Amino acid sequence: MNDARSPQATTAVEGDGYRVVHRTLIRADQELDVRALYLGGIAAFTGSDASMRQSGSEEADKSAKETAAAVEAIGGLSGFGRIEESGTLAVEAEKRVTFGTYFNAFPAGYWRRWTDFESVRLVVRLRGHGNLIVYRSTSKGHLLRAESVLVESEESQVFVLDLPLKPFIDGGWYWFDVEAGHEEVFLEEASWSVKTDRARVGHVTIGITTFNRPDFCVDQLVNLSQDPEVLEIIDRIVVVDQGSQKVKDEARFAAVAEALGDRLAVLEQPNLGGSGGFSRAMNEAVQGGASDYVLLLDDDVVCELEGIHRAVALADLAKQRVLVGGHMLSLYDRSVMHAYGETIKKYRWFWGPAPFTSHGHDFARKPLRSTSWLHRRIDVDYNGWWMCLIPTQVVKEIGLSLPMFIKWDDAEYGLRAGEAGYPTVSLPGVAVWHVPWTEKDDTLDWQAYFH
């Protein structure tokens, strides 16, 4: 184990028996309405809303409310720092920026539960004058300082910290803050990795079902075409077009088709609903024979592409074969998490949020580090097919989606896979932005028929 307080003469851990499973995301062109999902300035140190008293008591409820009220908002960088065009984060003198956010904190509780790894390695490249401070949380949302590193050099230094996963049996995260001293400090890159001899990275067929949304669908193809690192693990992108407004007729389609080349296949068929479209994509992935996974995506989502790498990493390295799902963020109010985990209430046979979660959580108002329920590991029955990674071996064994048209196909498949021994993991840090359910109550409108 390396001395965490000494700079290491390396910038990469892959090739040394380590695989990066979670890269820190810093983007200069990021819009402000999503910034709180990635990083933000620390304005107070009052901790989380987790009470130290017995849960459910009147004193605990009062304590949680008082603590929540005392926490100043964390989100955005105004007055704390800036992101340079190179992607480097500059933290202003005597200010602190946190990566204890939805997309940048490491979901240690999930890696503790679903893999056999005993530790995770944090590699950070910094220069300037300040401190790197690593935190971990418990499943109850209590925050603990784990490590700290002094940074004092105008030249780039790489710090390597090996951190245990043992404490995270019921949940919890790792993350780090960067604090500037009397001068600015610069974070150039950071990543989380695990030591493994399973070096091969799984490959993916992406399956998109679309119905009369050619503009949304082409937007997604353009997004995929512009990320060479994601394209490296994609065998095919199968668009199953079931509408009368064809994707191929969209003005930008020719250019994106040329960019994607042989990876892109647009298949036209009658409107067989979501289950018919996704079943076709599953079948194409299995029959193609090259892909380890089929990644199902709705046509009207905006995907955080790093989430594809994270989903594949967990699926590759899990101690058993699993389905890996992504969370749903609101396409309209983009700092809001609409769905964090889904379960079936079997006594009334209807889906709903997993226990101890809530719909519509706004990270811009209530950050990860100060929201206790987000630190508990959530187990689910299924994941919506707005984003769900399914091993092709599972498809071979349990078959395709049942012909349920537009409702229950994803829920039934998750239950069926679970009964066959293949659980679903809704992995934090893997997500898409999607039209929220608040815009369409499918228990009351025309869709209720399909329930």
Catalytic residues: 410
Task: Kindly state the DSSP code that residue 438 receives in the 8-state scheme.
Answer: G
> Which string of DSSP letters, residue by residue, matches 329-351?
EESSSTTEEEES-EEEETTTTEE
Smallest CA-to-CA distance from 342 within 380, 374, 376 is with 380
Distance separating alpha carbons of residues 186 and 88, to the nearest angstrom: 7
Distance separating alpha carbons of residues 248 and 124, to the nearest angstrom: 44
Amino acid (one-letter) located at 305: L
Distance of CA 447 to the CA centre of its chain: 29
Distance separating alpha carbons of residues 35 and 385, to the nearest angstrom: 26
Q: Which long-range contacts (CB under 8 A, 24 or more apart) does 24-29 make?
A: 24/99, 24/104, 24/189, 24/190, 24/191, 24/192, 25/103, 25/104, 25/304, 25/306, 26/83, 26/87, 26/88, 26/89, 26/187, 26/189, 27/83, 27/87, 28/83, 28/84, 28/85, 28/86, 28/87
Question: With contact defined as beta carbons under 8 Å apart, do 278 and 413 qualify?
Answer: no
Distance separating alpha carbons of residues 326 and 431, to the nearest angstrom: 4
Which stretch of DSSP H or E encloses residue 178?
Answer: strand 174-195
Distance separating alpha carbons of residues 122 and 136, to the nearest angstrom: 13
Distance separating alpha carbons of residues 249 and 224, to the nearest angstrom: 19
Q: Which two tokens stand for residue 184?
A: 């600015």
CA angle 54, 55, 57 (to 5 degrees): 80
Helix axes 409-419, 273-288, angle to 10 degrees: 50
Q: Which residues contact 242 (CB under 8 A, 6 or more apart)?
A: 209, 210, 211, 268, 269, 270, 271, 272, 273, 276, 277
Distance separating alpha carbons of residues 237 and 264, to the nearest angstrom: 5
Q: Which two tokens stand for residue 16?
A: 């040394």
